Structure 1
Amino acid sequence: MEEEISESSDISLRPLQLSDLDDFMVWASDDRVSRFCTWNTYTSREAALNYIKETVIPHPWYRAICLKNRVVGAISVNKPRSGDDDSCRGELGYALAAKYWGRGIATRAVKLVVSSIFKDWPHLVRLEALVDVENIGSQRVLEKVGFQKEGVLRKYLIVKGRILDLVIYSLLSTDLKFVT
């Protein structure tokens, strides 16, 4: 296991830009990274560029995860799938280049989101994350940050032709005083 990144290291979040395409392709074209994501592995720079232009840039809360200002992943908060525009819930999702797994970067990125999302979106009361039951690493990230495991949603979602069991985690705005 690689050495964990310290809290004081240069991990930051910023908007993803078209000029980040090469760094984006490093992890978005990796089947290991996309395995637990709803999106398919990017095999074309043109498709990735279109995704950044049409989905990422206009997205209300999508950030690049940067290590020393180099994009090594992405993290976003989406409105829930229910389509309720005034929802008090947001859904957290993230992906990180495989070479940085196990080093505390995803944990730090999630902490950065938690420290700002409830201020950025004052209507938000609940931040939730749905994680494939097989994605133990992501479950550990959420637990380290203070998310509560609420249970397993059996046969909850079809992704890439597979019917998945998902673990649901949540963090409430009132939980923030307990998050370190």
Structure 2
Amino acid sequence: MEEEKITLRPFTISDADDFMVWASDDKVSHFCSWNTFTDKNTLIDHIEKTILPHPWFRAICLNGRPVGAILFTPATGNDSCRGELGYMLASQLWGKGVMTKAVKLAVKSVFEEMKGLERVEALVDVENKGSLKVLEKVGFLKEGVLRKYFVLKGRTRDMVMFSLLSTDTIYA
């Protein structure tokens, strides 16, 4: 993947066909809060109503073409010093370093863009081994396991809390 360029950019409606590639893949949606998309019109509606208005939701592009998504949801009020990172990637690209690079780019960007941000958090299902490895490679600190923390698709899940502070060193 070294010779291929990984970039982040805002989504557009015209990304729907590329988005459908991974959004319709059960392997990708397995650990996501949303169900696998089976209809392009439903996905377009999701893009219009959820993704475009989101404060920081980016396409992960490989040579300019969307292959995944990464989002940062800033907290508000007394919690405004932190926010949560989430991501997804086309399954055929898993294990190739794409997500590690995308997370580095995203973290660097949100720390630069969001005034007062001191902490980026990520909650990962204990069974999502690939995602656990990505965060460790980027330099996130594993803070602990939050037992029975999240209901995912009707089942209570244990989640691992990771964090990266604005003072931590990462190399994009």
TM normalised by structure 1 equals: 0.91
Q: Which amino acid aligns with 1:127?
A: V
Deviation at 1:49, TM superposition (A): 0.3
Partner of 1:20: 15
1:145 equivalent to 2:155? Answer no
Q: Secondary structure at the match of 2:47?
A: helix
Structure 1 residue runs of 4+, over 2 Å off? 83-86
CA distance in 2, matches of 1:18, 1:36: 24
Partner of 1:127: 120
Q: 1:100 aligns with which of 85, 89, 93?
A: 93
Number of residues of Structure 1 aligned to a counterpart in Structure 2: 171
Superposed CA deviations along residues 25-80 of structure 1, whole A, max 9, x for unmatched, are: 00001000000111111111111001111111111100000001111000000134
* Matches for 1:77-116 after TM superposition, within 5 Å: 77-80=72-75, 84=77, 87-116=80-109
Unaligned runs of 5+ in 2: none
Partner of 1:168: 161
TM normalised by structure 2 equals: 0.95
Q: Which amino acid aligns with 1:105?
A: V
CA RMSD of aligned residues (A): 1.3
CA distance in 2, matches of 1:55, 1:76: 11
Partner of 1:179: 170
Residue identity over aligned pairs, in percent, reads 58
